Structures are given as structure tokens and as C-alpha cells.
Amino acid sequence: MREFELVIIGGGPAGMAAAIAAKKQGIDDLVIFERGDRLGGILNQCIHNGFGLHTFKEELTGPEYAERYAQQVYDLGIPYELGTMVLDITPDKQITVVSRQRGAETVRARAVILAMGCRERPRGALGIAGFRPQGVYTAGTAQKLVNCEGVVPGKEVVILGSGDIGLIMARRMTLEGAKVRAVVELMPYSSGLKRNIVQCLDDYGIPLMLSHTVIDIKGKEKLEGVWVAAVDEHNAPIEGTEEYFPCDTLLLSCGLIPENELSRSAGIELSPLTSGPSVDESLETTVEGVFACGNVLHVHDLVDFVSEESVRAGENAAEYIKGKPSSPGTPVAVKPGNGVRYTVPSRLYPESVTDCVHIRFRVTAPVKGAAIVVSCGGKELARKRGRIFVPSEMIEVILKKEQLAGLSGDIEVRTEEAAK
């Protein structure tokens, strides 16, 4: 049985950054398992720009960003095995993998980093009644078809969901000669970035229909069109507002969920709020020596934050391998309060914090002129102001080690309306 000090599952930006960081900390006996045929993960299909502004101070496309990290993997001589799918992890870190070169194999690891990314919500989750004609795709599938396979799935398009992938695909399909009739969004606000609304929809005159949804699909074998209706505050369609859009393609951009089949089999506790593993400040899951980073942990919108977080996972895994006792003392829970959907980490060990801890979270709905308050047992630890906080942006608050001394009770992160 092959044995490794560190096994990294997934060769996307998270896996690569974690591997590079661990290697730099002196961990040489490591490997990246990637099921795809190249490193880079989902970035290979994200050919638009907007990546890396924080990390490289320039705007890169997805493949360019991925290649910078892949180059470091090659330069540092980090072993990686492509076409290698991890099927199972046990709580004692035996990993079953299958590849064409080696067939099925079980390997053992001292430490594991989960970096499997996320997947799109499947269309079954959308609750549209009726047939499943040809022409209905998730936006990410369409992105892969167009950008990696050179196949444009249709000519007349409606997009349901205004997440970033949907917005990006509205522009992409337009540039490939398709007519995008509308982007339909159930919520009264878009879950995508404002810049993408400007440069992907407004630039091309594509209407964004907020508080609307697709209520029915026409076409038995092939999609012929969709009915769209406005919804009320309970998301119920409003009678009389139905509008028919002929189209041969419906793209679904309805959100991403962390990919955690493997985490479940390893007996790792998942957070019901993020659908990712619940972790402490070192990004260690509830199974000792198993760490998580990137989209498998919580869905990120900025790859720079993925890379930064993954460096910390790689460094902490290296510390663990070198024998740092994991998680001493009693943990303090970190909880989302008013207006906050989740926090990562969800618990922390004040004693094992080296100099600071990053708390990342999202708000539940857009708030204007509010402050983010981090408190513990009535004591305010941090306050962050902003003109507007939106669910599409991940927010970060950094607490220093000194601030964590002598805390009792849970740490709470909440939004607070500004005093009038």
C-alpha cells in the first residue's frame, strides 16, 4: 500500500495552493489526486477575466490564473496524478482511488486536504414541473461545452438565475451569436456581482427580470419556449403576469453546493449552513488531520480568497504532520447572528491561534448603511462598516490573538443597522 504524509484531493486552485504551501513548509512526501485531465479545476472553463486582482495585482482570465499556480507545482516538483478519482476516505485516512494507469488502489495518508470544489445545483432541485426536453443545461455545463469543447448549445436562450456563472454565460452566448432573451431571477436582487450585470447584461441590452421565475416549459423532445411570471413576496407566481419566451435553450444558474460525498464517507461533520465541513480556525474538520479549503468548504466568488485560504490549510496540515498537537483546550463556537447566513470557521481554539484568525461569512440579504459586529458575551471584538453588504460577496473580519484572550461564551457575527 502506498503511503503519503499528505494527500490533496482535487487539483483546482485550492488543491494547488495548499500543496504549494505544504511543500514550502518542508512536506516532500505529498501527492495531488485530480480526476480531470489537467490541473486548474473549474478555472479552465472560466475564460473570462477578473481573476487574480488581489494576488497578482492584474486582471487574469481563469486559465491564466490556473497556469501560474500549475507552474509553481511543476517548478517545486510536487507530484500530481491526473485522471485519478478518489472514491472513498475512511476516518483513519485510507483513501480509495481509481485511475486508468493503476486501476483501483488504496493509499494511506497522515494528513488529507479536501479540495474537491463545488458543483452546480442540479435541475431537479428547481421544482419546475413538466417534461425534461433537450435544451436545458446548467450554466456551468454550457460554459464547459462552449469554452472547452467548442460547442454552442443553442441560438435563443433564456437564463434562470442571475448568479455570476449565468451572467457570464449570457455574454458568452451573445458573443457566440446566440440571442439571450432574458435573465430571470426569483429574488428581488441579483446574486451576481454588480460588475457582471453591467458588463454582461447592460452592455448587450439583455433584460434582467428580478422577482420573476420560469413557471413552465414548452416542448416535449426539444425545448420550444418557457413561460415566465412575476412572483409575490412569498415567491408564488402572480396571475396575469405570465409571458412566453420562445427559446431553444434554458440555462440554469441556481447556485453552487460544496462537493462533499467523500467528506460524508470519512465521517466528517458537515455544517447545515454551508453544506461544507464544519472546521476550526486551522481549517481542520472534525476528523483529526483532515483539512478543507476552497469551494468544498464554502462557496467562494473570488478565487483569490480560495488561494489565500488554501495556503493556510496547507500550512496547518504541514504543522500537523510535523507533530503540532491538534486543537488544544476547549473550543469557542462562532455563530451567525442577525442578518448573517454562516461563518467559517464555526469554532475556534483561542490557544492554538498563532497571531490572528480569519472569519469569513455572508449576509442573508442586502443591507445598506449597516455595520458588521463581532461580539462575545456582550463584549464587542470588531466592527466593520460598509455602505452596502450583499449576499454575493464574502466578507472577512480578522481577529487578533490578543482579542481572543479570556473569552467566555460564543462569538457572534451579526449585522447592525446604523443609528439614524
Partner 1 sequence: MTRELTCIGCPMGCALTVEVENNEAVSVTGNTCKIGENYARTEISAPVRAVTTTALTAEGIPVPVKTVGSVPKDKIFEVVAHIKRTTVTLPVKVGDIILDNAADTGVAVAATASMDN
Measured CA to CA, the distance from residue 263 to residue 280 in angstroms comes to 16
Residue 74 belongs to what H/E stretch?
helix 62-75
Measured CA to CA, the distance from residue 148 to residue 117 in angstroms comes to 19
The residue nearest ligand FAD at its CB is 12
Q: Could you please report the per-residue DSSP string of 308-365?
A: HHHHHHHHHHHHHHTTPPSS-S--EEEEE-TTEEEEESSEE-GGG-SSEEEEEEEESS
Least Å distance between CB 119 and ligand FAD? Answer: 6
Stretch that binds ligand FAD, among 28-36, 67-75, 185-193, 282-290 (CB under 6 A): 28-36
Torsion of CA 235, 205, 49, 85, to 10 degrees: 40
Measured CA to CA, the distance from residue 138 to residue 146 in angstroms comes to 13
Least Å distance between CB 110 and ligand FAD? Answer: 19
Whichever of 39 and 411 has its CB closer to ligand FAD, that residue is: 39
* 44 binding partner (options ligand FAD, partner 1, none; Cβ < 5 to 8 Å by kind): partner 1
* 199 binding partner (options partner 1, ligand FAD, none; Cβ < 5 to 8 Å by kind): partner 1
Site for ligand FAD in 94-153 (CB under 6 A): 115-118, 120, 140, 143
Can you give the binding site for partner 1, defined by CB under 8 A? 44, 47-50, 53, 59-61, 63-64, 67, 146-150, 172, 175-176, 193-195, 197-199, 203, 301-302, 387, 393
Whichever of 333 and 394 has its CB closer to ligand FAD, that residue is: 394
Whichever of 97 and 223 has its CB closer to ligand FAD, that residue is: 97
Site for ligand FAD in 248-277 (CB under 6 A): 256, 259, 262
Q: Tell whether residue 53 is a contact of ligand FAD (CB under 6 A).
A: no
All three cell numbers of 66? 490556473
Measured CA to CA, the distance from residue 256 to residue 235 in angstroms comes to 20
Q: Tell whether residue 303 is a contact of ligand FAD (CB under 6 A).
A: yes
Identify whether the C-beta of residue 48 lies closer than 8 Å to the C-beta of residue 24: no
Residue type, 280: D
Whichever of 132 and 194 has its CB closer to partner 1, that residue is: 194
Q: Tell whether residue 47 is a contact of ligand FAD (CB under 6 A).
A: no
